[in-house]
Amino acid sequence: MSSLAEVEHQENKLSDTNFPLFSSLESAGHEQVVVCSRPDVGLKAIIAVHNTTLGPALGGTRMWMYQNEQEAIRDVLRLSRGMTYKAAISGLNLGGGKAVIIGDPHTDKNEHLFHAFGRFVDSLGGRYITAEDVGMTEQEMEWIYSETKYVTGIPKSMGGSGDPSPVTAYGVYMGMKAAAKRAYGSDSLEGKRVAIQGAGNVASNLARYIAKENAELFVTDIYREKAEKLAKELSATYIEPDNIYCLDVDIFSPCALGGVVNDETLPVLTCDVIAGAANNILDDETEHAARLDGMGIIYAPDYVINAGGIINISSELEGYNEELAMRKTSRIYDTMTDILEYADTNNITTLEASNRLAEERINAVGNIGKIYSSSSHFSHRKGELYMRDRR
């Protein structure tokens, strides 16, 4: 399996309409990409299975109005690869996968579209297990679930874990506190100036955790009404979206879409810590991680601290237990601490440290048995999902 750093060059080619698809997949280590089309119901989707060394590929389905098909492909490839590292660093026996549905989540949803998508997921026989992601709700997951058992994040009333956002937020909060302890000698956020980019479900729950510590909060979102509502609830300050980067704060927490730490925003950042829930926060993983390190900014790798979601939904595979999921998610604090120590010891960035630790686990298991067997399967018992691995 190629490291994250080795695939960056290939990723940059994905903006080219003639990008070399198979060489990009080979470089990043993807096993399978499935294009799903049902024009009669408006379905245009892509499922990417990155790596199944540790187990079936688990990752959410995102619905988004991409500018073009190349942007959708680039997103699903990056996200699915990130899920492999997320599962590995979290100690889960799962691989990485992701799906994207091209469409406006506010106007293009219909029941038949998600039934059709569920059938495509089912056709993979358990190599890919889907879940809720950006632009999706429990309602859509319920429709998908009616067509396939290979889905998590279904409503609690159906034996699932429901919305994973609160658990994701708790994991980000724990990772943020671990990074704060390294930066300030204490993990207390009291009096710290924290800027949260985004006011969605994860961002809102994260803001509530932080507010309980009497931090000074600043919030923004492209949907102004949502951000202003959250700011009013928590006595926070609303900031215009373009002004969030240059705000003088202690901690910057990107919780919307990725790529927000880039060549344009880096020069104006004045924070000590970056710790957010968004995936792929760094536009160029290798270059921008190194630049943050050089600026003395502690970066909490996004796929490490936002792993609460996958930890939560993975618990469904053995029968959901909310208390156990929260306890496992709290360990993100220890994982982040280990990464910081590993980075210091080896004089590398925190991103490189987390990548190495994840790759070590994947490679170790890969020496035993590399590809997830389709004989691993789910069975339904009293509304809960169970998985047996017969490898």
What's the rounded Cα separation, in Å, for the pair 211 and 82? 29
Instruction: Single out the residue of 48, 77, 87, 43 nearest to residue 63, CA to CA.
Output: 43
Helix (H, G, I), strand (E, B) or coil at 237: strand
**E strands within 173-241?**
193-197, 216-220, 237-238
What's the rounded Cα separation, in Å, for the pair 176 and 337? 10
Instruction: Single out the residue of 184, 187, 4, 190 nearest to residue 84, CA to CA.
Output: 4
Q: Is residue 98 annotated as a catalytic residue, yes or no?
A: yes
What is the token pair recorded at 127? 């190599």
What's the rounded Cα separation, in Å, for the pair 326 and 78? 27
Of 44, 86, 98, 192, which is the active-site residue? 98
> Residue 368, Cβ neighbours under 10 Å: how many?
8
**E strands within the chain?**
32-38, 43-51, 57-58, 61-64, 95-102, 128-129, 193-197, 216-220, 237-238, 251-254, 273-274, 298-299, 377-381, 384-388
What's the rounded Cα separation, in Å, for the pair 198 and 278? 9
202 contacts: CB under 8 Å, gap ≥ 6: 165, 168, 169, 172, 255, 277, 306
Q: What is the set of active-site residues?
A: 98
